[in-house]
């Protein structure tokens, strides 16, 4: 089993749609969780950290379920500019600055 | 805009060349990372420096040699690379174990 798994994608959705991405992780001792977006031929950029109580940033909502070792990202009212690859990242270390594990990514295309 | 600066942005080198990639951050982060990313794959960890000491080497071939001259700088020395080493090389930094990674723009390396 891979350490971090994501929906295989790609997701092709019309503008204005709501889309949800799922991510599961294998290490129950994982400490912190993040969603990054990556545009073609660019570096990954932090979209949002994921907190235990769930958190929202505008059209984006992230949820964490530690019992099920599951993270989700919901995008409402999709824009063309949301087209990117979304990477689930889990910090599986319990000591300083190590062991960020990346999921394989899910590609989203928002269509006009 | 990124607070982690990488140079050069692009590099083409022959298999007998020696070159270096450079990374700089002024956020006071104590961990710095080198990742390698091939097309349509997530970033793959190469090295981690924590407080200027090499803490993780993910079985990277010796033709890649990292160096951390001080807490703000990270270099990756390249020698006798192979064409399959062509990839996007990403530098990142982080503050604490529950803080996210901050990536530089990357160096796109082509080995001919």
Confidence grade of residue B58 (pLDDT, cut at 50, 70, 90): confident
Q: Is A34 on the interface with B (CB under 8 A)?
A: yes
Tens-place pLDDT, residues A15-32: 999 999 999 999 888 889
Residue A1: its pLDDT value, please? 65
Q: Inter-chain contact B99–A98, Cβ cutoff 8 Å?
A: no
Residue A94: its pLDDT value, please? 52
Q: Assess whether pLDDT exceeds 80 at residue A97.
A: no
Query: How many Å lie between the alpha carbon of B17 and the closest alpha carbon of chain A?
Result: 25
Question: Which of A42, A43, A96 comes nearest B97 by C-beta?
Answer: A96
Residue recorded with tokens 């990556």: A38
Q: Assess whether pLDDT exceeds 80 at residue B29.
A: yes
Residue recorded with tokens 């982690």: B4
CA pair distance A107, A11, nearest whole angstrom: 6
Tens-place pLDDT, residues B62-106: 999 999 999 999 999 999 999 999 999 999 999 866 789 999 999
Residue A92: its pLDDT value, please? 85
Mean of the per-residue pLDDT values of chain A: 93
Distance of CA B106 to the CA centre of its chain: 8
Cis peptide before B8 (omega within 30 of 0): yes
Neighbours of A75 (CB within 10 A): 22
Residues of chain A neighbouring B94 (CB-CB closer than 8 A) = 97, 100
Strand order across the beta sheet in which A60-65 lies = A4-6, A19-25, A70-75, A60-65, A55-57
Cα separations in angstroms, A1 against A4, A30, B36: 9, 16, 22
Q: Inter-chain contact A45–B103, Cβ cutoff 8 Å?
A: yes
Question: Which of B30, B56, B98 comes nearest A91 by C-beta?
Answer: B98
What is the arithmetic mean of pLDDT over A93-98?
Answer: 58
Contacting A with CB below 8 Å, chain B residues are: 2, 30-31, 33, 41-43, 45, 48, 50-51, 55-56, 88, 90, 94, 96-106, 108
CA pair distance B48, B36, nearest whole angstrom: 12
Burial category of B49 from C-beta neighbours within 10 Å (exposed 0-12, middle 13-18, buried 19 and up): buried
Structure tokens at B77: 């020395």
What are the residues facing B70 on neighbouring strands?
A: B73
Instruction: Give the residue on B whose Cα is nearest the Cα of A31.
Output: B98
CA pair distance A38, B104, nearest whole angstrom: 12
Residues of chain A neighbouring B101 (CB-CB closer than 8 A) = 34, 44, 46, 89, 100
* Contact assessment for residue B64 and residue B78, using Cβ atoms and an 8 Å cutoff: yes
* Contact assessment for residue B37 and residue B88, using Cβ atoms and an 8 Å cutoff: yes
Residue B104: its pLDDT value, please? 97
| Position with higher pLDDT, A48 vs B2 | A48
CA pair distance B69, A63, nearest whole angstrom: 40
Burial category of B55 from C-beta neighbours within 10 Å (exposed 0-12, middle 13-18, buried 19 and up): middle
Helix (H, G, I), strand (E, B) or coil at A81: helix
């Amino acid at each position: 089993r891979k350490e971090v798994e994501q929906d295989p994608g790609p997701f092709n959705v019309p503008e204005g749609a709501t889309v949800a991405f799922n991510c599961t992780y294998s290490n129950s001792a994982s400490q912190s969780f993040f969603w990054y977006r990556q545009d073609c031929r660019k570096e990954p950029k932090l979209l949002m950290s994921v907190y235990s109580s769930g958190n929202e940033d505008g059209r984006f909502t992230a949820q964490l379920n530690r019992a099920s070792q599951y993270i989700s990202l919901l995008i409402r009212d999709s824009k063309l500019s949301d087209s990117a690859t979304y990477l689930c990242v889990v910090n599986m270390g319990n000591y300083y600055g190590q062991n960020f594990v990346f999921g394989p990514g899910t590609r989203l295309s928002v269509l006009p | 805009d990124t607070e982690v600066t990488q140079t050069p942005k692009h590099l083409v080198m022959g298999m007998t060349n020696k070159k270096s990639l450079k990374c700089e951050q002024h956020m006071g982060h104590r961990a710095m990372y080198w990742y390698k990313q091939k097309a349509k794959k997530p970033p793959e960890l190469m090295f981690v420096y924590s407080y200027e000491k090499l803490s993780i080497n993910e079985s990277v071939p010796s033709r890649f040699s990292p160096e951390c001259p001080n807490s703000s700088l990270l270099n990756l020395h390249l020698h006798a690379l192979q064409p399959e080493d062509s990839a996007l090389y990403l530098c990142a930094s982080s503050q604490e174990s529950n803080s996210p990674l901050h990536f530089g723009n990357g160096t796109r390396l082509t080995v001919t």
